[in-house]
Amino acid sequence: MDDIEQYRADRRDFLPISWSDIEQRGWDTHENPLDFVIVSGDAYVDHPSFAAAVIGRVLEAAGYRVGIIAQPEWRSPDDFRRLGRPRLAFLVSAGNVDSMVANYTVSGKPRRRDSYSPGAIGGRRPDRATLVYCTRIREAFKNTDIVIGGIEASLRRLAHFDYWSDRMRRSILLDSKADLLVYGMGESPILEIAAALSDGRRAAELTTIAGTVRRCRTDELPAVEAAASEFGRVLVELPDWDSFADPENGKRAYAQSFRQQQRNTDAINGAVLVERYGPALVVQNPAAPPRTGTELDVVYELPYTRTFHPDYIDAGGVPAIEEVRFSLVSNRGCFGGCSFCALAFHQGRCVTARSISSLEREARLLTALSGFKGYIHDVGGPTANFRRPSCTQQLKNGVCKDKQCLHPKACGNLEVDHDEYLDVLRRLREIPGVKKVFVRSGIRYDYVLLDSESPFLRELTEHHVSGQLKVAPEHISPRALAAMGKPGVEVYDRFAHEFRRMNEEIGSKQYLVPYFISSHPGTTLSDAILLAEYFRDHGGTPEQVQDFYPTPGTLATCMYYTETDPRTGVRLPVPKSAREKAMQRALLQFRDPKNYALVREALETAGREDLIGTKPTCLIAPAPRPTGRRPPTGGSADGRAPKGKRRSARSARRR
């Protein structure tokens, strides 16, 4: 990190991380000086993009004393005693990323870098960090309440397929032996939990807090039904744990279970879900209502230092801060419905947004930070151009259980409006000291096209793109896009055309940077070849290619494991072997000489030798090209090579 001094702040402005910090505050240290101790797999970065900081500051604002043990040494319980026993509970999270994703690539190789650790050094958090941390806390303090949360706990709250062990795993609540699990964003449930614990109740006794998962005995099912009535919801029993072990029907049972989970993520119409594990029950209460705009304003304007703890200065800081330090979070939730995304499972599909005045206040705060050079790097969220629920019916009845807002086509009730987001961007770029406001988080280009009368695309192109606009068509094959929940390639082509036309009108040279996924469930070598032919015809070589990574909480991961679409029960092709995955990825970058052997193998395997030769329609030559001359690559506003390079690209193919 350049100029590390610009990140320095006074340690007294942070939540305490040591006993000396507690003493400096003058708190009574004779017994239980802290109400809560947060244990996190991330380094402590006091910024509203980091969950531990948000939960800590929310509790602090409510009058509770909170300390943080960040990235503890987990090989013994000693480090977990650093701040003593909290008066109310330990709050445990693996961090902003699932610990297995943080530690391993999709191919299973250990990651050397971890941007959430000091100096980006990997290996600072254990595999399955939530389980390990809870075990060590139990060793350190025999009778203390433990509440788990964060991405890892949220997405593993019920039985789930675990890619890294290649098997089903139980609810993380059972395996961690925690007392209660909070899923979703967590601010509302944690305040309710804190109030109940302050009244002398234990975490395991809390049965009616929305956004939580608890365990109980099967003979307590009548009480669970009564609690569901308190919520005004029905009770839905999921397939039990033993059913997943059935060699013939286990995968079908999991597909049915996941489908029910997916249908019940909404705070308004979600049922109480029950999962049996022999004599035990895991009970998921309905999701907590999403924070209102006013509540989000309060959360994001708490007194964060907006930097990492000074203890990390000597290690070079925590790189994860760089992407978000001069960015603004404007919204939560997403109704996009992408199969490979867990946002609906975690944040929900109902979009809420901060007020414009709150965003302006935060932007002015950014201009006063050391290191600010006039550029706000992003104003967005899960999807930047979503600032409102998809329809007004959703506010009364909740999101549709069996329909998506944008796929396979836009719902007739969808209310498309970019006016408020445009107002946000306009007002931010008028703030003194702000030179440029960029939009770098993803936009839904199909949603933009539905708002054809809006000046949004023009203003986005003219004021808020830094030379390249990232978009995510993901694929072009109809079968692949149907499995992904993405719009057809004709929608992307239309947006690319409009973006290019807009750049021509304003006299600018800016390009789309499209993202693609290889080896997604529902794709075959034929689909990958179809995508390669698209690049052949449109020029350019995609550089943003991601192998599909099966992570808990996504529809695509259920597809990967069950080899069916749980929405329809239809069987799907699923690339699982390392060789097939490698061939699919190589096809997406078929012009790279080092991929020649894999591309040739893929074409021969698929019976597409017609694409091997010297004709313009071929992907590769009969023999490898000389490695000394690489064909030109690049991208334009529609994914095509810049005009000056197209002839040389065609010539290279002929050679």
Range 630-633, long-range pairs (CB < 8 A, 24+ positions): 630/592, 630/593, 631/591, 633/540, 633/541, 633/543, 633/591
DSSP 329: E
E-only strand ranges, 254-355: 272-277, 280-284, 307-308, 327-329, 331-332, 352-353
Q: Are 587 and 534 in contact (CB under 8 A)?
A: no
46: enclosing H helix or E strand:
strand 45-46
Interval 461-520: pLDDT, tens: 999 998 999 999 999 999 999 999 999 999 999 999 999 999 999 999 999 999 999 999
DSSP per-residue string spanning 401-448: SS--SSSSS--TT-----HHHHHHHHHHHTSTT--EE---S---HHHH
Q: Tell which residue, 504, 537, 544, 546, has the closest CA to residue 641.
A: 537
Beta strands (DSSP E) in 61-184 are: 66-70, 89-93, 146-149, 160-162, 167-169, 180-182
Q: Kindly write down the DSSP assignment for every residue of 337-359, as one continuous string.
A: --TT--HHHHT-S--EE--HHHH
Question: Mapped to the 3 state alphabet, what secondary structure does 184-245 carry?
Answer: CCCHHHHHHHHHHHHCCCCHHHCCCCCCEEEEEEHHHHHHHHHHHHHHCCCEEECCCHHHHH
Q: How does DSSP classify residue 454?
A: S
**Residue 563 predicted with pLDDT over 60:** yes
Query: Tokens 């390990």 appear where?
Result: 132
Q: What is the pLDDT of residue 625?
A: 56
Mean pLDDT on 527-544: 89
Burial class (CB in 10 A: 0-12, 13-18, 19+), 590: buried
| Whole-number pLDDT of residue 30 | 80
pLDDT of the residue at 624: 62
- What are the Cα distances from residue 154, in Å, to 7, 53, 119, 546? 31, 17, 28, 24
How confident is the model at residue 650, as a pLDDT? 36
Residue 628, C-beta contacts closer than 8 angstroms, at least 6 positions apart: none
The string of pLDDT tens digits covering residues 393-427 is 999 999 999 999 999 999 999 999 999 999 999 99
Phi-psi region of 236 (alpha: psi -120 to 50; beta: other; left: phi over 0): beta
pLDDT: which is higher, 442 or 85: 85
Contact between 523 and 575 (Cβ < 8 Å): yes
Q: Are 447 and 373 in contact (CB under 8 A)?
A: no
Q: Which residues of 84-118 are buried (b: 16+ CB within 10 A; e: fewer)?
A: bbbbbbbbbbbbbbbbbbbbbeeeeeeeeebbbbb
Q: Are 340 and 62 in contact (CB under 8 A)?
A: no
Average pLDDT, the chain: 93
Name which of 149, 170, 175, 160 is nearest 276 in CA terms: 170
Q: What stretch of H or E contains 622? A: none
What amino acid is encoded at 68 in this protein?
A: I
Q: How far is CA 204 from CA 58, 132, 141, 144, in A?
A: 22, 20, 17, 11
Tens-digit pLDDT profile for residues 270-300: 999 999 999 999 999 999 999 999 999 999 9
Q: In this predicted model, which residue has the larger pLDDT, 532 or 631?
A: 532
pLDDT at 525 over 60: yes
- From the list 169, 281, 280, the residue with the least C-alpha distance to 235 is 281
- pLDDT tens for residues 32-72? 899 999 999 999 999 999 999 999 999 999 999 999 999 99
Rounded CA-CA distance 435/160 in Å is 47
Q: Is 435 exposed, middle or buried (0-12, 13-18, 19+ CB in 10 A)?
A: exposed
Distance from C-alpha of 61 to C-alpha of 488, rounded to nearest angstrom: 47
The continuous run of DSSP H or E covering 376 comes out as strand 375-376
* Percent with pLDDT over 90 in the chain: 90
Greatest alpha-carbon pair distance for the chain in Å reads: 82
Q: Give me the pLDDT at residue 647, please.
A: 37
- Residue 542: its pLDDT value, please? 82
Tell me the average pLDDT across 552-573: 96
CA 408 to chain CA mean position, Å: 22
Could you read off the pLDDT of 297-335 as tens digits, one per residue? 999 999 999 999 999 999 999 999 999 999 999 999 999
The CATH code that applies to domain 470-655 is: 3.30.750.200
Query: Three-class SS of residue 47?
Result: coil
Compute CA 456 distance to the chain's CA centroid, rounded to the nearest angstrom: 26
Average pLDDT over residues 206-217: 97
Establish whether domains 326-466 and 470-655 are of one fold: yes
pLDDT digit string, tens, across residues 378-394: 999 999 999 999 999 99
Please state which architecture CATH assigns to domain 1-211+288-318: 3-Layer(aba) Sandwich (3.40)
Structure tokens at 36: 């809560």
Q: How many residues does the chain have?
A: 655
CATH number of 326-466: 3.30.750.210
For 472, phi then psi, to 5°, come to -130, 75
pLDDT at 632: 41
Q: Which amino acid is at 199?
A: D
| DSSP H or E stretch at residue 319 | none
Please tell me the distance from the alpha carbon of residue 94 to that of residue 125, in angstroms, as a whole number. Answer: 8
> pLDDT tens for residues 617-652?
999 999 765 555 444 443 443 444 344 434 333 333
Burial 542-564 (b: 16+ CB within 10 A, else e): beebbbbbbbbbbbbbbbbbbbb
From CA 104, how far away is CA 285, in angstroms rounded?
32
Nearest to 272 by CA among 240, 237, 239: 237
Q: Alpha-carbon distance 79 to 86, whole Å?
A: 14
Percent of the chain with pLDDT over 70: 95
Q: Where are the domains of the chain?
A: 1-211+288-318, 214-282, 326-466, 470-655
- Give the mean pLDDT of 430-434: 97
Residue 507 CB contacts under 8 Å (≥ 6 apart), including other chains: none
Both structure tokens of 156: 């593993």
Quote the pLDDT of residue 5.
86
